[in-house]
Chains A and B, each alone.
Chain A
Amino acid sequence: MRSKLLIILFYFFSAIKGNADNIQFTASAPKVVETGEQFEVTYNITAQPSGFKPPEFKNFNLLGGPSTSSSSSVQIINGKVIQSSSYSYTYYFSANTPGNYTIEAAKATVDGKNYMSNPITIEVVSSGKTGNAQPNNAQQGAKQNNANQNTRNQETIAEVGNEDIFTRVLVDRNNLYQGDHLIATIKLYSKLNISAIENVEFPAFTGFFRQDIETPQLKSLEREVVNGQVYATGVIQKLVLFPQKNGEITIDPFTMQCVVQIQVRNRPRSIFDDFWGPSVQEVRKKIKSRPVKINVKPLPLNNSASFHGAVGNFNFKAALDKNNVKTNDAITLKVIISGNGNLKMIEPFDIKFPSDFETYDPKVSVNISTSTSGVSGSKTFEYLLIPRHSGDFKIPEIVFTYFDTQSNQFKTLSSGEMDVKVEKSANEPRETVISGISKEDVKYLGKDIQFIKTQLPEFTRKNEFFFGSLKFWLFYLVSTTLFFILVLFWRKRIKENANILRVRNKKANKVAHKKLKDAHLYMKDNRKEEFFEYILKALWGYMSDKLSIPVAELSREKILEETGKLNIDSELIKKFLQTLDNCEFARYAPYEDSSQMDKIYNDSISIISKIEQKIR
């Protein structure tokens, strides 16, 4: 129990100590003061100092101080104790001569350590023109206004001059490229006390893509010199604007209504006035900023296919999570674009993945913050790829082109080609197991004209055609002439041949008889062999001459066929063939009979003369 308490106490004090280490020592003062005006310089330290040494306050009249004050607080949040204490030293000054003055840092000692505050700069302006212009007090200008009216009618409502309170739209540049951004600051300037702001109407910002920068709510005003006069100013809204078209774009006026407090003196003689302080009248004033003209230059012409309107200053990174996978394993391709510019406009890349990869729409994650330096952050595209087939694949290089606003040039970043090696996964169905494998159609990836013909053509003269040319007709002419020459020549030959045959036909009888005569001589000599040979020669030769068929081609059947065509009596031919048969039979007969030879000889003569009568 006791130990627990000790631990708690230990934590308690250690927490305090830990807090004490983080000591802040700041100096604060108004930025702008007028001559003769009283102002405060306050030093704040978040711990109790053992010693405090202010700087030398040159150029200012010390009116009072330092007055010290201290506060401390203890916070316990979820058992965590935070103790904070602060000490402040306040000096009151007034300045005599206009100019810029710097107050050096003050030194404070806490627990033996020395801390330095920040130096501060104060601008002192002369108060000649407007007198005592103070945002926290009633305004002189308003008073003057009021005073004029009071002379006529004391009950009239006070009016506020345009110089006393106004608003402006400030842009960091008026001239920029399309797609680049500009920062617009809507600021309120006032010399009067403002008690409320109403009906804030932002312009439409036509022609711009608008993005608000987180602006803290307007609580306190800062002092600033405009045209030699001190105004209390506050930023109402900061915006980042991206022009969407080129040319001159006008930012329409920004309007709002302010409730300002104006001192009035309705009954100047009243005793209570002084006692209650000056009476205050609330006046509603509608203020309107001047329109701002922005000149937007079009981007220089860029034909590159990888440019899609990105303008700014970017980094580009593309990487695969793995290069070596098995089929059906997922791969992620991460494309990260980071930097400053119109990140929101960047569209996913159209990457031509190998068609054997199953691809999905990329997952887009955006991490963008809008600040006074524009829109910065990163945009990530995650492409999920699933290779369905094994092999070595190449993912083509991803090219990103943007317009660099610093160098006013197009810049192209490339990821380079990426190799993916896909191996067959173990559980991929083996090829030997064929069970309803679905064949894939060949995927046609694009349509284009066929490539030019590279082999040398045969050039011909224009409108010069083979048809109808001299060469063309010559072919016909020559071939026809050749044809006729050939026909005539052949005709002649045939005629000549026919003559020879006729002669042979006519002479056939004579030749046959001559041969028979020879045979007769051999018969007388009783030379049987020669006799029959001559008889046969005479018979065959006669038929050959008569039918115009060479002896070698002649046969009994041929004789029958050819004589049949010539319409010769078949009895006669039969007899002729009979004689032939007898002759051949007798030739090889063993016995020798001269009467036989005699008979054959006579038969031959009679048959030849009989056929001779029939065929002329």
Chain B
Amino acid sequence: MKNHILKSRIIISVSFFIFNNLILANGNSSLFERANELYRNEQYDTAIVLYENILKSGFEAPELYYNLGNSYFKKKDIANAILNYERAHKLAPNDDEINFNLQLTQTMVVDKINALPEFFLFRWWKAFSEILSSYQWACLSIILFIIFLLSAIAYLFANRLWLKKISFWTGLILIFFSIIAFNNSYQLKNSNIYKSEAILISPSVTIKSSPDEKGTDLFVIHEGAKVWVIDEVGDWLKIKIADGNNGWLKKSDIEKI
């Protein structure tokens, strides 16, 4: 009897949770469609407000960031366009449209920062890890793990030698790739949560040598430039740009991706 009550309670709470989420998601869907309509009618300002409202409700989607980026782009707000494209890119690293628009918009940024050449293996590894999104990597990792378990069973109970051999090696390879997928999913999630990358929002920012207004001016970068946050002191952030130079700027000058 007691068990029964507990069960029904769980069912109610779970269904309420799902229902609640559904309502919110439904409201967001209609908002999203209305914003798209406005975008088509070239009312970018209002479209931006609606897209931002969805974000304010605590939900996100790569498509949402992408459309928001497009709206900002149409308003010639390059910095915010890049910021939103980058966010979309983080959630869906392998989306062609997002990558295309991001690259196109990056050509309009004032600063030409010569990125330090990365070791080619790192570059390859990064490109490889961005083939799938965090969610997809996680799913892949689980699927590979389950197949690994199956092959382990095959290994344990096979009474033929060749079957044992094959299942042993496939199992080994599968667990290896499952771990890689697990790691990639983890990395992508981390880069999403612990935001070290940021986009410069202020039109022009002078980077200081110390977290102080009186610090020596090191260099000037302009809106839309991508920076990596490496340290934080009060209102000040230590940032690094793609060519390896670093310095301090105010927190309000950048927006984390």
Chain A residues packing against B (C-beta within 8 Å): 447-463, 465-468, 472, 475-476, 479-480, 482-483, 486-487, 490, 494
Q: Which residues of A lie under 8 Å from residue B25 when comparing CB positions? A: 459
Q: Which residues of A lie under 8 Å from residue B29 when comparing CB positions? A: 456, 459
Q: Which residue of A lies closest to B32 (CB)?
A: A456
Q: Which residues of A lie under 8 Å from residue B142 when comparing CB positions? A: 472, 475-476, 479
A156 to B26, CA, bound (A): 105
B67 & A447 in contact (Cβ 8 Å cutoff): no
Question: Which of B59, B105, B182 makes the CB contact (< 8 A) with A462?
Answer: B59
A377 to B103, CA, bound (A): 50
- What distance in Å separates the Cβ of A453 from its nearest Cβ neighbour in chain B? 4
A467 to B138, CA, bound (A): 6
Question: Which of B63, B70, B145, B149 makes the CB contact (< 8 A) with A457?
Answer: B63
Q: B64 near A: Cβ within 8 Å?
A: yes
- What distance in Å separates the Cβ of A543 from its nearest Cβ neighbour in chain B? 19
- What distance in Å separates the Cβ of B37 from its nearest Cβ neighbour in chain A? 10
Beyond A459-B54, A462-B59, A465-B134, is A449–B105 a contact (Cβ under 8 Å)? yes
B135 & A467 in contact (Cβ 8 Å cutoff): yes
A494 to B156, CA, bound (A): 11
In the complex, given contacts A457-B32, A459-B24, what are 13 additional A-B residue pairs having Cβ atoms less than 8 angstroms apart? A449-B101, A453-B66, A453-B97, A454-B36, A459-B25, A459-B60, A460-B61, A462-B60, A465-B192, A467-B134, A479-B142, A479-B149, A486-B153
B193 & A463 in contact (Cβ 8 Å cutoff): yes
Q: B12 near A: Cβ within 8 Å?
A: no
Q: Which residues of B lie under 8 Å from residue A475 when comparing CB positions? A: 142, 145-146
Chain B at the A interface: SS class: helix
| A452, A461, A494 — most chain B CB neighbours (10 Å) | A452
- What distance in Å separates the Cβ of B100 from its nearest Cβ neighbour in chain A? 6
Chain A at the B interface: SS class: loop
The count of chain B contact residues (Cβ–Cβ below 8 Å) is 47
A462 to B56, CA, bound (A): 10
A483 & B59 in contact (Cβ 8 Å cutoff): no
Question: Which of A456, A476, A479, A490 makes the CB contact (< 8 A) with B157?
Answer: A490
B146 & A466 in contact (Cβ 8 Å cutoff): no
A450 & B61 in contact (Cβ 8 Å cutoff): no
- What distance in Å separates the Cβ of B54 from its nearest Cβ neighbour in chain A? 7
Number of CB contacts from chain A to chain B under 8 A: 99
A479 to B148, CA, bound (A): 10
Q: Which residues of A lie under 8 Å from residue B101 when comparing CB positions? A: 449-450
A180 to B91, CA, bound (A): 57
Question: Which of A450, A456, A472, A483 makes the CB contact (< 8 A) with B149?
Answer: A483
Q: Which residue of A lies closest to B40 (CB)?
A: A452
Q: Which residues of A lie under 8 Å from residue B230 when comparing CB positions? A: none
Interface string of B52-87 (1 = CB under 8 A from A): 001100111111101100110100000000000000
Chain B residues packing against A (C-beta within 8 Å): 24-25, 28-29, 32-33, 36, 39, 54-55, 58-64, 66-67, 70-71, 73, 97, 100-101, 104-105, 134-135, 137-139, 142, 145-146, 149, 152-153, 156-157, 182, 185-186, 188-189, 192-193
A461 to B55, CA, bound (A): 9
Q: Which residues of A lie under 8 Å from residue B58 when comparing CB positions? A: 461-462
B62 & A449 in contact (Cβ 8 Å cutoff): no
- What distance in Å separates the Cβ of A506 from its nearest Cβ neighbour in chain B? 22
B138 & A479 in contact (Cβ 8 Å cutoff): no
Question: Which of B39, B64, B134 makes the CB contact (< 8 A) with A459?
Answer: B64
A467 & B73 in contact (Cβ 8 Å cutoff): no
A487 to B155, CA, bound (A): 11
A479 & B70 in contact (Cβ 8 Å cutoff): no
B138 & A472 in contact (Cβ 8 Å cutoff): yes
Cross-chain pairs A/B with CB under 8 angstroms, 18 sampled: A449-B73, A449-B101, A454-B36, A456-B33, A457-B62, A459-B59, A459-B64, A462-B58, A465-B135, A465-B193, A466-B185, A467-B186, A472-B138, A472-B142, A479-B146, A483-B149, A483-B153, A490-B153
A482 to B146, CA, bound (A): 10
A448 to B24, CA, bound (A): 33
Q: Which residue of B lies closest to A465 (CB)?
A: B189
Beyond A463-B192, A466-B135, A487-B156, is A452–B36 a contact (Cβ under 8 Å)? yes
Question: Which of A460, A468, A476 makes the CB contact (< 8 A) with B60?
Answer: A460
Question: Which of B100, B156, B157, B182 makes the CB contact (< 8 A) with A450?
Answer: B100
